[in-house]
Amino acid sequence: MTTKAVAIEEVEKDNGSFDAVAFSQNAFSSSKALAAVFDHTLLKAEATREQVINLCEEAAQYRFACAMVNPAWVSTAYTALRGSGVPVGTVLGFPLGASLSVSKREEAVELVKLGAHDLDMVLNIGMLKSGMNDRVQQDIRGVVEVAHEAGAIVKVILETCLLNVEQKLRASELAIAAGADFLKTSTGFSTGGATPEDVALLRGVAGSRCGVKASGGIRSLADTRAMLEAGANRIGASASVNIVRELRGE
């Protein structure tokens, strides 16, 4: 058995179970159920107002879990989605995670005021690699406190492509201890995206304590199935519409 497999097996013993098979089967039972697991995403620097509004219209039409946009477009997305029941998601400390903790917290304050419900924050990767666990946890907790007080949720992006197994496990535990609602694999802007192996590792740590979001490079129905079967219960993708249409056979 590999070191990674041993690590997953050990954490699964302590953190409760998440039935990935049942969740995946339910998600693929209909296009509506599948759409509900997607954060419909547009984070390109060159994204225009028109493209953001189009993303929101698609999110409302397909009933995606949220419309994920850059901070500058949160108010636009909130207006476009008002009355639809689909929340606005956004990112902070993105994509490097190296912002000041006070900046992340203040950004969170402003974003929830503008109407963001899902806050996907990047943890401080350099501090994690330096063994500065308390600082990493405090960095996350500052955002979590703001979000939860406002009724919002926080997904902590680990950027797994930059971490070894031990660092992934430690980052996951620190994020959960800080109150994260989801562990998230990737920004999609680094050297790699989500893999089923990393999703399984994060789910092994999370158990039923929090969600797991797979993001980065998920472009097909097959990619989506692999991530859900590995333990993800949220998918971040810009190809959400095409993936749902693929399930419909369109």
- Tell me the β-bridge partners of 212: 183
Query: In this predicted model, what pLDDT tens digit does every residue of 32-47 receive, in sequence order?
Result: 999 999 999 999 999 9
Q: Given the residues 104, 155, 168, 184, select the one marked as catalytic.
A: 184
Q: Can 32 be counted among the known catalytic residues?
A: no
Cα dist. 9→1, 174, 204, 230 in Å?
A: 10, 19, 7, 14
pLDDT band at 236 (very low <50, low <70, confident <90, very high): very high
3-class DSSP state of 239: coil
Q: Decide if pLDDT at 12 tops 50.
A: no
Q: Can 168 be counted among the known catalytic residues?
A: no
41 neighbors 237 (Cβ within 8 angstroms): yes
Q: Decide if pLDDT at 87 tops 50.
A: yes
Which pLDDT does position 14 carry in this prediction? Answer: 52
Hunting for tokens 């994260």 — which residue is that? Answer: 180
Q: Decide if pLDDT at 1 tops 60.
A: no
Which pLDDT does position 223 carry in this prediction? Answer: 98
Which pLDDT does position 15 carry in this prediction? Answer: 72
Q: Can 213 be counted among the known catalytic residues?
A: yes
Which pLDDT does position 16 carry in this prediction? Answer: 84
Q: Decide if pLDDT at 63 tops 70.
A: yes
Q: Given the residues 104, 155, 168, 213, select the one marked as catalytic.
A: 213
Q: Decide if pLDDT at 5 tops 50.
A: no
Q: Decide if pLDDT at 10 tops 60.
A: no
169 neighbors 7 (Cβ within 8 angstroms): yes
pLDDT band at 3 (very low <50, low <70, confident <90, very high): very low
Q: Given the residues 39, 120, 181, 223, select the one marked as catalytic.
A: 120
Q: What domains can you pick out in the chain, each with its CATH number? A: 3-32+87-248 (3.20.20.70)
